[in-house]
């Protein structure tokens, strides 16, 4: 009987030992899986409470629900790429995000316009962070500020840009609608070749005079290069009348209907509201974008006799992209005048209420 008890005791000890070993292995596996799970969760959402409570809650106030969701997803894309929100932004991370956009465009994973929009959103968010941080006595650098995506490398066929009659139809439509803002915006792009982003960023403080008394835009540095753009007389008159009529003392020249600085999507929608009607009435061959109008401006500068280097310096286009306009000017007689742009904005009939 004693032997049976000893034998049973040994079996119980062995069973208990095996049970503890199995349980230990199971718990180790569980712990590992739990750690992996929590790490995954952190990877999915690394946006800080500070960003949400001190930045986003105020930044998103005037955004529509759709735009708010779109902007938030862009911030999350940055978060996934860098491992944190833009409250802690380094130049290396900004370049990484910038290069990632270019890679996606080049591999056809992202459209060029979407990439431009995403970069613009990150600029806006980081500008908001910079203002907030500086106002609280701390330092923050928006490394996105001087970044802009290179224009797409493609040769433009002649019919890709509006001709003189189409430009006249577009400006006439804005004029007849008494839409002074649209008329001036379209004129700035068509005559000076400003980008949509530059239009939206124009401030009253950018306007100055050069040593010879010409009205100029002192544009902020782009890729560390400053530009002083002489404003043509016809545009200068329009601009002066518009600023006076709108009583713009400082800050943004163009505002949206919410009285905030106009956005790139606002100007595109503004242009689309005219092109849609003009296409239907067969006064335009196709729908044109702000970028298309800029292409037209550059083409007409070249047709007017300006060299590629002059146009590249004036419009801020990288020299290597200027060859895209060769096909357009190849079939036109080059005018030897020194005027940059052969398009002139007629100023007849201007009064305090209407601009032509």
Q: Tell me the angle at which helices 180-192 and 164-176 cross, rounded to the nearest 10 degrees.
A: 160
**Integer CA distances (angstroms), 344 to 111, 234, 304, 348, in order:** 34, 7, 12, 12
pLDDT of residue 4: 66
CB-CB contact of 343 with 162 (8 Å): no
Structure tokens at 274: 């005219």
Cα distance between residue 354 and residue 242, in whole Å = 9
pLDDT of residue 146: 80
Cα distance between residue 110 and residue 103, in whole Å = 9
Cα distance between residue 159 and residue 146, in whole Å = 33
CA nearest to 268, candidates 136, 125, 120: 120
Structure tokens at 310: 């002059």
CB-CB contact of 74 with 80 (8 Å): no
Cα distance between residue 73 and residue 45, in whole Å = 12
Give the chain's radius of gyration (CA, Å).
30
Give pLDDT tens digits along the chain (356 positions). Answer: 666 666 676 667 666 666 555 554 444 444 444 344 343 334 445 788 899 999 999 999 888 989 999 999 999 999 999 888 899 899 999 999 998 998 888 777 888 889 999 999 999 999 999 999 999 999 999 999 888 876 665 545 666 788 889 999 999 999 999 999 999 999 999 888 888 989 999 999 998 887 777 788 888 876 566 678 888 888 888 999 999 999 999 999 999 888 899 999 999 999 999 999 999 999 999 889 998 898 888 888 877 776 777 776 767 665 444 454 444 444 443 322 224 454 566 654 434 343 33
Which position has the token pair 């996934």?
A: 80
156 three-state secondary structure: coil
């Amino acid at each position: 009987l004693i032997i049976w008890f000893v034998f049973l005791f040994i079996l119980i000890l062995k069973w208990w030992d095996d049970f503890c070993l199995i349980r230990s292995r199971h718990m180790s596996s569980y712990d590992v899986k739990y750690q992996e799970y929590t790490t995954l969760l952190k990877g999915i959402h690394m946006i800080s409470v500070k960003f949400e409570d001190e930045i986003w809650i105020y930044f998103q106030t005037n955004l529509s629900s759709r735009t708010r969701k779109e902007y938030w997803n862009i911030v999350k894309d940055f978060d996934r790429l860098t491992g944190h929100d833009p409250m802690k932004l380094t130049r290396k991370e900004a370049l990484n995000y910038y290069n990632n956009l270019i890679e996606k465009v080049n591999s056809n994973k992202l459209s060029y316009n979407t990439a431009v929009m995403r970069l613009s959103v990150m600029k806006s968010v980081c500008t908001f962070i910079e203002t907030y941080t500086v106002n609280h006595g701390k330092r923050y650098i928006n490394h996105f500020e001087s970044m802009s995506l290179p224009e797409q490398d493609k040769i433009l066929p002649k019919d890709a840009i509006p001709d003189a009659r189409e430009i006249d139809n577009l400006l006439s439509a804005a004029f007849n609608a008494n839409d002074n803002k649209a008329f001036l915006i379209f004129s700035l792009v068509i005559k000076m070749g400003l980008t949509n982003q530059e239009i939206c960023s124009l401030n009253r403080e950018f306007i100055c005079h050069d040593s010879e008394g010409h009205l100029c835009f002192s544009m902020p540095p782009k890729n560390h290069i400053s530009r002083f753009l002489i404003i043509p007389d016809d545009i200068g008159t329009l601009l002066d009348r518009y600023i006076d009529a709108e009583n713009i003392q400082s800050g943004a020249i163009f505002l949206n209907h919410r009285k905030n600085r106009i956005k790139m999507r606002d100007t595109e929608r503004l242009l689309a509201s005219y092109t849609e009607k003009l296409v239907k009435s067969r006064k335009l061959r196709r729908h044109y974008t702000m970028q298309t109008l800029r292409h037209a401006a550059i083409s007409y500068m070249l047709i007017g006799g300006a060299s590629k280097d002059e146009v590249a310096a004036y419009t801020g286009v990288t020299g290597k992209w200027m060859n895209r306009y060769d096909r357009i000017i190849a079939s036109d007689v080059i005018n030897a005048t020194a005027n940059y742009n052969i398009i002139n904005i007629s100023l007849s009939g201007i009064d305090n209420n209407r601009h032509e």
